[in-house]
Amino acid sequence: SGKELYEYYKKMIAECKIDIFISGDIENITDIVKENENIKNLHERDAKYVINIIEEKQSTEEREIKEDMDVVQGKIVIGLDVHLEDKKQKYDTVVYNAILGGTATSKLFQNVREKASLAYTAGSNYIRQKGNVFIRCGIEIENYEKALEIIKKQIEDMKQGNFTEEELENTKQYIISTIQEIKDEQDTQIAYYFSHELAKTDSSIEKYINDVRKVTKEQIIEIAKTVKINTIYFLKN
């Protein structure tokens, strides 16, 4: 209800940690913010969230879930667990994900969509806070088994190191150019710095780029060998 929403709003203003980000000509603005009486009256608050960048993964058996809905296009979502020994390996995993399914030249896009013509869309994304990679494909429903077979082959190919140094370098350049674009939009910059504030990690864009540049093929294979399918989800009619 409206009353409950208002009560929650008051609780949030009174108790939640507040971060203020300023982008632009900040010299005078920071002074104005610091001298604002309302802001001065806000006491220091602890964040009430759990920071767990490298989540301890429990070994699970691969499971397959199928659901029916009135859909024209089938949807495959595959959840992969990634086991990291060190938080620095997140950069290796960023590159791993990009080669697997994060770009238009990725293995999933090229082999599932372009070559086999089994999918309308095919790609993956890495959720570093949870240590998961999610593969997503939109397919004709009758193509499910064949598409799944080729998707699994791409995961296995990554374990075997079946990608070239040229693919690796091109992928790293793509990631770096994407990171550099963060500086182009104020909203994007704020979102970037806020995500690092939440994770309490180094927020330097230059460091991020440097860490991506240092990723080697051997490091990606090391990540790939830890990757395990947790759940295969298929939505069909």
Are 157 and 111 in contact by the 8 Å Cβ rule? The answer is no
Q: Say how far apart CA 171 and CA 212 lie, in whole Å.
A: 10
Residue with tokens 């409206």: 2
Q: Report if pTM > 0.85.
A: no
> Computed from CA positions of residues 203, 208, 211, 215, in that sequence, does the dihedral angle turn out positive or negative?
positive
Q: What is the pLDDT along the chain (237 residues), one digit of tens a residue?
A: 899 999 999 988 888 888 888 887 777 787 888 788 888 777 777 777 666 555 566 677 899 999 999 898 999 999 999 998 888 899 999 999 999 999 999 999 999 999 999 999 999 999 988 889 999 999 999 999 999 999 999 999 999 999 999 999 999 999 999 999 998 999 999 998 888 887 777 778 999 999 999 999 999 999 999 999 999 999 998
